[in-house]
Structure formats: C-alpha cells, structure tokens
Amino acid sequence: MTYTVAVAGASGYAGGEVLRLLADHPEFEVTTVTASSNAGRPLVELQPHLRSYAELVLQETTPEVLRGHDVVFLALPHGASGAITDELDDDVLVIDCGADHRLADEGAWATFYGGEFHEPWAYGVPELPAAGGKLRDRLAGARKIAAPGCNASAVSLAIAPGIAAGIIEEDIVAVLAVGPSGAGKNLKVQYLASELLGSASPYGVGGTHRHVPEIAQNLVLAGAAAPRISFTPVLVPMARGILATVTAPLKPGVTGGQVRDAWESAYAAERFVQVLPAGAWPRTADVLGANTALIGVTVDEAANRVVAVLALDNLVKGTAGAAIQSANIALGLPEGTALTTNGVAP
C-alpha cells in the first residue's frame, strides 16, 4: 500500500531531514510540502541537497493544505502545531517533531514553554524502557505521535537502563556537546560561524533548559520516582551531532558486572540503540546520517558513579529518524524501513 504524506516545515532542518529519509521509503509518497515565509518557492531552492523532490513547491502551512493525506509530519516551531493538529482528522497519522504534545504536566509546560497546553501524545522513542516493556508498545496503532527533543532522547536513552534495573540513585548529571543544527535555521547571533568556530559555548545552564522536564518524564516512565537532573548543553562547532555524558551514583553494593548487564540487556534486541563493548566509546562522527544511538558505559569506582556516554545525530535519531521509525511502528510496517544504522564518514 502507498501512504500519501505531507511534510510541514519542509524548508527547515528537521523537515528537510524527514524528506531526505522518506525518499527511500517504499510505502510513503510525499505529495505535499509546506513552509511559512518561504511558501510559494520550489523546495529545492531551500533544500538544494534534496534533488529527488525537484517537482515540489512549498505551500502555506494550513489545515486545508495538510488535510487529505494519510500521514502528516509536522516540523514547525513549538507552539505552531497545536492549532493545526486540532483541525486534522482523528484517523490521520500525525507525527509532531515539535514539543507541543510531549509533556503531560501542564505546570511544566507553562514553566518551560508557555502558551496554550496541548494533550500529550505517544512519545516517539521506541527503545525507551517503560513499565517493564518498551515505549514501542504504546506506538503500535497510535495515530498521534510526539517525536522527542534531541537532547532529551540522548540523555534518557543513555541512563534509563540504570533506572529500569533499579541500580542507580535518581541523581543524574548530564553534560552534552551539541551541534547548532539543533536550533534550526536560526538567525541568532550565537549561531553565526564567527561566534561558533573555535569555541565551546554553554547555554540553558542551571536547570533552565526545556528538555529537563521531558527527561524527568521519560525517567519516570522507566521506573524513577522523582529524578533530579542537572543538565548542561554546550554548543560546539560541528554542524550536527550530540555527545551526551551522563553520570549517576550507584546504589550500595552494585557491581560493574551488574551495570554492564543492565545496559546490554536493555538494548540487546535493539537495532538502533547499541551498547559498545567495554572500553569502547562512541563518537558523533560514527552516527552522522544514521538512525543509531551508540552508548559506552563504565563504572568510575573512585567516584562510585556509572558513566554512560551516548552519541546520536540530532536530526536523525534525535528527530526525523525517530519520527519515521515511530510512524513505521504505528502503521505496522517494518520498524527500520527507510532508516539505516550506517553513518557517513569521515
């Protein structure tokens, strides 16, 4: 069967990546692409690397334009999708790459985002441990899916095995090296090459970053009671990629062997989340363009902390790949359709 697909926000980074991956999807046919200020322009003017879509012209992002498709991917700024999703039919599969349908806690939404609150949807990180199973179970048959924040998925996937196994304290410290494409095609001065190159620049420091409540929500799903999360992202000069270093204290008596077992068993059956052999550490260069998250894990004996290091591509496993993987699950298609574990190197 062929599903007709609309991609809203197709002139942006996340929408562009959805399109790049969907070009290899045998069951999805993209018939409509939309934008805002760039509506009316040919898609390839904005996305010159997407040659297979040469015939498509960006339309306005309205419910009327998006209606009539089997699947709609929304890659709009947060706050812009809620009004549109309210107008689409219940049986249409909608995957929102923005934050509007991620949080269940209205208070957290008001604190970290503000504006109108929208109901939470099934969360698009299939491999996350949740209540003895995986979030994948909640995506099967879903028609409304919230794709994750890229930093939130990196931190959550890195540390959730320790929470699910009950072997770490709920006192998480995460420091991330992140590429500027996570911020979208943003014209802010801090994303200029002259500001980024040759520097590492922290932002969202001190518990203020919007992904803190999203990570907490994920870890509660994995079995935490009231996790404390210290989260510090650092912009570094690489176009895309996240390297998350996440640590937490071990509960008394927990051994290195138990840690390795917890991480390996959590992801043993997963194709897109892989735990590296002891002593091996992931690099962002190994996951660029791939839907893979790679994890290295060890115990720092002197500090009595587990140290998990995870690399993913913010635009693939952190957004567009997660969105497509989740859509595949929702429709009962092979989960990895149009997705690869192979990166682009060097």
Ligand X SMILES: CC(=O)N[C@@H](CCC(=O)OP(=O)(O)O)C(=O)O
Q: Does 98 bind ligand X (CB under 6 A)?
A: yes
Q: Which residue is nearest to ligand X (CB)?
A: 182
Give pairs for 203-209: CB < 8 Å, separation 24+: 203/233, 203/234, 203/235, 204/231, 204/232, 204/233, 205/232, 207/231, 209/151, 209/233
Closer Cβ to ligand X, 129 or 213, answer by number: 213
- Cβ of residue 244: shortest distance to ligand X, in angstroms? 12
Which residues inside 302-321 make contact with ligand NDP, applying CB under 6 A? 314-315, 318-319
Enumerate residues 160-199 that contact ligand NDP by CB under 6 A: 181-182, 184-185
Out of 16, 82, 126, 149, the only residue in the binding site for ligand X (CB under 6 A) is 149
Q: Does 38 bind ligand NDP (CB under 6 A)?
A: yes
User: Which tokens hold the place of 223?
Assistant: 């079995």
Dihedral (CA of 255, 258, 259, 260) sign: positive
Q: Which of 12, 233, 241, 343 binds ligand X (CB under 6 A)?
A: 233
Please name the residue that has the structure tokens 């809620």.
Answer: 82
Q: Does 233 bind ligand NDP (CB under 6 A)?
A: no
Q: Would you say 161 or 182 has its CB closer to ligand NDP?
A: 182
Cα separation, 221 vs 148, whole angstroms: 14
Of the candidates 126, 129, 149, 296, which one interacts with ligand NDP according to CB under 6 A? 149
Specify whether the backbone of 332 is left (phi greater than 0), alpha (psi in -120 to 50) or beta: left
CB 52, min distance to ligand NDP, A: 18
- Residue listed under structure tokens 């990546």: 17
Cα gap 309→155, rounded to integer Å: 9
The residue within the footprint of ligand NDP, chosen from 7, 56, 71, 97 (CB under 6 A), is 97
97 included as an active-site residue: no
CB of 334 to ligand X, least distance (A): 26
Three-class SS of residue 144? strand
State in angstroms the smallest separation of the CB of 181 from ligand X.
Answer: 7
Per-residue HEC secondary structure of 147-204 comes to CCCHHHHHHHHHHHHHHHCCCECCEEEEEEEECHHHHCCCCCHHHCHHHHCCCCEECC
Residue 233 site contact among ligand NDP, ligand X, none (CB < 5 to 8 Å, cut-off depends on kind): ligand X
CA–CA separation, 63 vs 95, rounded Å? 14
Q: How many CB atoms lie within 10 A of CB 342?
A: 11
Helices vs. strands in the chain: H and E counts, helices first? 11, 16
Q: Which one of ligand NDP, ligand X, none interacts with residue 180, CB within 5 to 8 A by kind?
A: ligand X
* Residues in touch with ligand NDP (CB under 6 A): 9-15, 35-38, 61, 75-78, 80, 97-98, 149-150, 181-182, 184-185, 314-315, 318-319
* Residues in touch with ligand X (CB under 6 A): 78, 98-99, 149-151, 178, 180, 182-183, 210, 233, 235
Q: Which residues are catalytic?
A: 150
